[in-house]
């Protein structure tokens, strides 16, 4: 409950901070504080893998319950949200963007709600609640007149969400006790055809949000023209809503349709991996490059989830966290470059390493983390994901594995054209204080890269639990 209220209160308070980044960051950190102190692994039992309810009160008579709670998976994503938010808020150092921080904090509340909701309609409400602030952020603070892109993005994702709402309502009409509670919705036995339609509704919402090839077309332009913080929020956290929804809502609720959708989604995801990478290889605009690389990476995660194996799920969850951290780091670095220098196109940059020693090191760490070099955070997740795909189908893994090569190509290309080479003119260095969030991210790159197992243990039991539940109630064997 605190995780919803505190960000909202912080959002209200942040209106009066006059854009002081330190105060704002402190306000944004409150959520992380509560999360660690109240719901940290020492206070909660994540080892059993069971769902722990925090609030469960009737809300709309008995039909909708205000039901919040968490397990290891939710905890992981809450951790991601609440770690990244302060970093993103800190990166706002422009007084001309007064409502950016309050909007971001409202979004934090919505995201926290998404990851904690255990009632179908509550989930839907938070899902849409998180959309509203990002709509305004991308609209108001865009780099150029961004109305068309933003509205397109909004309508696109909104139509997807409607599919999910339709599926939820359909399931609701079938429940014996007329309730949107997760357990009631899950208890229904759907017929095969029925489940395919219900699944289609869910998958439409999640595929657009993830985004899965070919539902990604809202993404590149939105990322490119949104303000940096908008891109960070979208790619770092909002994408994970779709992946989380796949695990938490689609699979248990419409699990009967998994045999039908599994090959389809994995094929699309693998296509997306290669497709995104090939396009990213040829981009000159750093933000657009990262947008397409993100398409490639989430494709791998989605494929891993859909293999329905413990390896795939664990790898996917770890990679969700890692991708969130890294992609925020990348966008932040690009934003700093753009703020300090001429722009973010290759043609306008080069030789920045000469005056930015620390920034170069941090940026490089994040880049090799993204390119999944061993002992950085990208490796363990990618290793597990590729292994799960390998066990699913050996021909697919050859294509999915291309990401190892292609990711190195486009990431190093970006690094080379921006940081290396002869400086075009005398540059001033990037202010060191602005790189503070990158330090935090770089530390996470190293620590998770060296000790991934510590991390996995938080959510592993919950993954086991969900997989058992699915196979027990829906008869889908992993």
Residues of this chain that interact with another protein (CB under 8 A) are 152, 156, 214, 216-218, 220-221, 275, 278-279, 281-283, 309-311, 314, 351, 353-354, 357, 368, 373-375, 380, 383-384, 386-387, 390-391, 397-398, 401-402, 404-405, 408-409, 412-413, 416, 419-423, 451-453, 456
CB of 340 to another protein, least distance (A): 19
Task: State how far the Cα of 175 lies from the Cα of 171, in Å rounded to an integer.
Answer: 6
DSSP code string of 251-270: HHHSGGGHHHHHHHHHHHHH
CA dist 366 and 466 (Å) reads: 32
- Please say which residue, 123 or 156, places its beta carbon nearer to another protein: 156
d(CA 299, CA 215): 12
Task: Tell whether the torsion through CA atoms of 175, 251, 220 and 140 is positive or negative.
Answer: positive
Nearer to another protein, 168 or 448 (CB): 448
Q: Of the two residues 126 and 459, which places its CB atom closer to another protein in the complex?
A: 459
Q: Residue 137 or residue 407: which is nearer to another protein going by CB?
A: 407
Report, in Å, the least distance between residue 412 CB and another protein.
Answer: 5
> CB 235 → another protein: shortest distance, Å?
17
Cβ nearer to another protein, comparing 141 with 275? 275
For residue 58, give the H/E element and its range.
Answer: strand 52-60
Q: Which is nearer to another protein, 172 or 275 (CB)?
A: 275
> 228-237 burial, b if ≥16 CB within 10 A, otherwise e?
bbbbbbbbbb
CA distance 371 to 367: 6
Q: How far is it, in rounded angstroms, from Cα 137 to Cα 237?
A: 15
Q: Report the helix count and the strand count for the chain, using DSSP H and E.
A: 20, 2
Q: Which is nearer to another protein, 39 or 215 (CB)?
A: 215
What's the min distance (Å) between Cβ of 354 and another protein?
7
In angstroms and rounded to an integer, the radius of gyration of the C-alpha atoms of the chain is 21
* CA dist list (Å): 414 to 150, 180, 288, 295, 410: 26, 47, 11, 17, 6
What backbone phi and psi angles, to 5 degrees, belong to 402? Answer: -55, -25
Backbone phi, psi, residue 153, to 5°: -60, -45
Nearest to another protein of 169, 439 (CB atom): 439
Q: Are 184 and 175 in contact (CB under 8 A)?
A: yes
The residues that bridge with 260 in the sheet, in sequence order, are none
Shortest distance, position 478 Cβ to another protein, whole Å: 10
CB-nearer residue toward another protein: 78 or 456: 456
> Looking at beta carbons only, is 201 or 452 nearer to another protein?
452
Among candidates 402, 371, 374, 373, which has minimal Cα distance to 386? 402
Taking the C-alpha atoms of residue 347 and residue 341, their distance in angstroms, rounded to an integer, is 12
Q: In the structure encoding, which two tokens stand for residue 77, read together? A: 């994503």
Smallest separation (angstroms) from another protein to the CB of 446: 12
Select 242 or 380, whichever has its Cβ closest to another protein. 380
CB 199 to another protein: min, Å: 23
Residue 326: CB minimum distance to another protein, A: 16
What is the nearest approach in angstroms of another protein to the Cβ of residue 401? 5
Q: Tell the smallest beta-carbon distance from residue 263 to another protein (Å).
A: 20
Q: CB within 8 A of 260, min separation 6: which ones?
A: 192, 195, 196, 199
As measured in angstroms, the least distance from the Cβ of 365 to another protein is 11
State the residue for tokens 């008579």: 61
* Three-class SS state of 189: coil
């Amino acid at each position: 409950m605190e995780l919803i209220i505190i960000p909202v209160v912080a959002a209200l308070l942040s209106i009066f901070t006059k854009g002081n980044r330190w105060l704002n960051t402190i306000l944004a950190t409150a959520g992380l504080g509560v999360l660690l102190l109240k719901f940290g692994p020492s206070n909660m039992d994540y080892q059993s893998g069971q769902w722990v309810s925090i609030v469960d009160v009737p809300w709309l008579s008995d039909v909708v319950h205000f039901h919040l709670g968490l397990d290891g998976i939710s905890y992981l994503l809450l951790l991601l949200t609440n770690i990244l938010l302060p970093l993103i808020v800190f990166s706002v150092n422009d007084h001309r963007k007064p409502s950016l921080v309050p909007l971001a904090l409202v979004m934090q509340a919505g995201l926290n709600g998404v990851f904690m909701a255990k009632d179908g309609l509550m989930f839907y409400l938070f899902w849409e609640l998180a959309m509203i602030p990002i709509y305004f952020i991308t609209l108001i603070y865009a780099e150029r007149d961004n109305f068309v892109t933003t509205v397109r993005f909004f309508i696109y994702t909104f139509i997807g969400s409607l599919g999910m709402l339709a599926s939820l309502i359909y399931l609701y009409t079938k429940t014996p006790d007329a309730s949107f509670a997760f357990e009631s919705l899950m208890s229904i036995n759907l017929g095969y055809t029925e489940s395919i339609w219900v699944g289609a509704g869910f998958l439409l919402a999640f595929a657009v949000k993830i985004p899965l090839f070919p539902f990604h077309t809202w993404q590149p332009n939105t990322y490119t023209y949104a303000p940096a913080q908008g891109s960070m929020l979208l790619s770092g956290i909002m994408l994970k809503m779709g992946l989380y929804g796949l695990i938490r809502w689609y699979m248990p609720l419409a699990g009967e349709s998994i045999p039908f959708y599994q090959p389809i989604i994995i094929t699309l995801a693998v296509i997306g991996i290669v497709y995104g990478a090939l396009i990213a290889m040829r981009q000159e605009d750093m933000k657009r490059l990262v947008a397409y690389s993100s398409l490639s990476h989430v494709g791998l995660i989605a494929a891993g989830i859909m293999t329905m194996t413990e390896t795939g799920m664990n790898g996917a969850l770890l990679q969700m966290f890692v991708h969130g951290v890294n992609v925020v780091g990348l966008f932040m670095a690009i934003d700093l470059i753009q703020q300090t220098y001429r722009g973010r196109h290759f043609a306008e940059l080069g030789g920045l390493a000469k005056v930015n020693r620390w920034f170069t090191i941090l940026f490089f760490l994040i880049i090799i983390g993204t390119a999944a070099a061993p002992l950085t955070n990208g490796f363990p997740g990618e290793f597990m994901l590729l292994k799960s795909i390998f066990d699913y189908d050996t021909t697919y893994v050859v294509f999915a594995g291309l990401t190892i090569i292609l990711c190195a190509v486009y990431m190093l290309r970006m690094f080379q054209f921006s940081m290396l080479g002869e400086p075009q003119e005398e540059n001033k260095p990037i202010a060191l204080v602005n790189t503070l969030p990158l330090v935090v991210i770089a530390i996470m790159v190293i620590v998770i890269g060296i000790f991934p197992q510590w991390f996995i243990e938080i959510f592993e039991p919950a993954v086991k639990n969900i997989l058992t539940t699915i196979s027990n109630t829906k008869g889908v064997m992993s």
